[in-house]
Amino acid sequence: MMREVTATRYIAPLRSGGSVPGVVEADDLGTYVVKFTGSAQGRKALVAEVIVGELARALGLRFPELVLVHFDPAVAAAEPHQEVRDLHAASAGVNLGMDLLPGARDFTPEVAEVFPVDPVEAGRIVWLDALTANVDRTVHSSNLMVWPVLGVAPPRLWLIDHGAALVFHHRWDGADPSRVYDFRHHALGRYGPDVRAADAELAPKVTVELLRRIVAEVPDAWLADAAGPDETRAAYVDHLYARVRHSAAWLPTDFPGREELAAEEARRAARTRAARPDWLKRVPDLHGKPAAEQDWSVHLG
């Protein structure tokens, strides 16, 4: 069961995503990234976070602990921005927290150039994304973190941010368990993900009993479909289990090679440069040394 904590100190908002989560400290002395029920993405994004995140953990993938966070907007009364205060005011009560990974680094295309990922691990992650219709783990927005980067242990990939997954729950009457989604530009496609091995390993583990335990973690208040919480939970279980049994239909295997990806990226960059005004084209690169030129040997062990 997900633990319940109470937010005791509000640290800062995170503006890298549209939902504007906040970093808070809680009464268990932990630090969490909190996604709020009042965000524009709605509560279904939190449902997806719980179901996909807990399924990832059950299948042995690295995913930060999730907790239910009791949040009183008064904790963040000093927040200077009105739109963030409005978000907090609309989110009083139970929200979703993810354990903060201190010092974690985004898995960007530059990092991907120098960071080794085993095809078996890549296959497991792609398989999970295909099962849960998570189309938001791309080369440009990986929703993956590398952590630790400076610790005593070698860095590893951690999955985060699954609010855009389970796209079928936005329109249940069109949910098709054998639907194929486009994963050609998955963030891990360049590593030759062994999705067939992942299917053989992971599919038998996704049982009805496991899905029921995971879906039971979602608070009733977040399951606002007209059918009611129990019926909605059953719909998630039925659809995901049917999807597991139809894996031969949706298993992604068509990934572009490194040369094709490089060519596509060059075309995209050319289009971006062409769209810039002349004055911006003359601005030098002030971002410093790219990740591909950094020495990662001290971190990779």
Structure-block tokens of residue 105: 């680094």
Structure-block tokens of residue 38: 């009042």
Look at residue 281 in the predicted model and tell me its pLDDT: 58
Is 255 within the bounds of a domain? no
Look at residue 282 in the predicted model and tell me its pLDDT: 60
Structure-block tokens of residue 56: 């990832």
Is 79 within the bounds of a domain? yes
3-state secondary structure of 159: strand
Is 240 within the bounds of a domain? no
The enclosing H or E element of 88 equals helix 82-89
Q: How far is CA 98 from the centre of its chain?
A: 11
- State the number of CA atoms in the 13 A half-sphere of 67 facing the CB: 24
**What is Dmax (Cα atoms) for the chain?**
60
Is 118 within the bounds of a domain? no
Is 90 within the bounds of a domain? yes
**Tens of pLDDT along 108-119?**
989 998 999 999
Give the range of the structural domain holding residue 70, as residue numbers without chain letter.
3-99
The pTM for the full model equals 0.87
C-beta separation of 7 from 70 below 8 A: yes
Closest among 252, 3, 300, 1 to 153, alpha carbons compared: 300
Look at residue 299 in the predicted model and tell me its pLDDT: 37
| Overall number of domains in the chain | 1
Q: Measured between alpha carbons, how far is 164 from 22 in angstroms, rounded to an integer?
A: 18
Phi-psi region of 161 (alpha: psi -120 to 50; beta: other; left: phi over 0): left
Is 215 within the bounds of a domain? no
Look at residue 269 in the predicted model and tell me its pLDDT: 78
Is 9 within the bounds of a domain? yes
Q: What string of pLDDT tens digits covers the 301 residues of the chain?
A: 899 999 999 999 998 767 899 999 999 999 999 999 999 999 999 999 999 999 999 999 999 999 999 999 999 999 999 999 999 999 999 999 999 999 999 999 899 989 999 999 999 999 999 999 999 999 889 999 999 976 668 899 999 999 999 999 999 999 999 999 999 999 999 999 999 999 999 999 999 999 999 999 999 999 977 689 999 999 999 999 999 999 999 999 988 877 777 787 788 778 877 877 776 656 554 444 444 444 433 333 3
Is 94 within the bounds of a domain? yes
C-beta separation of 147 from 101 below 8 A: yes
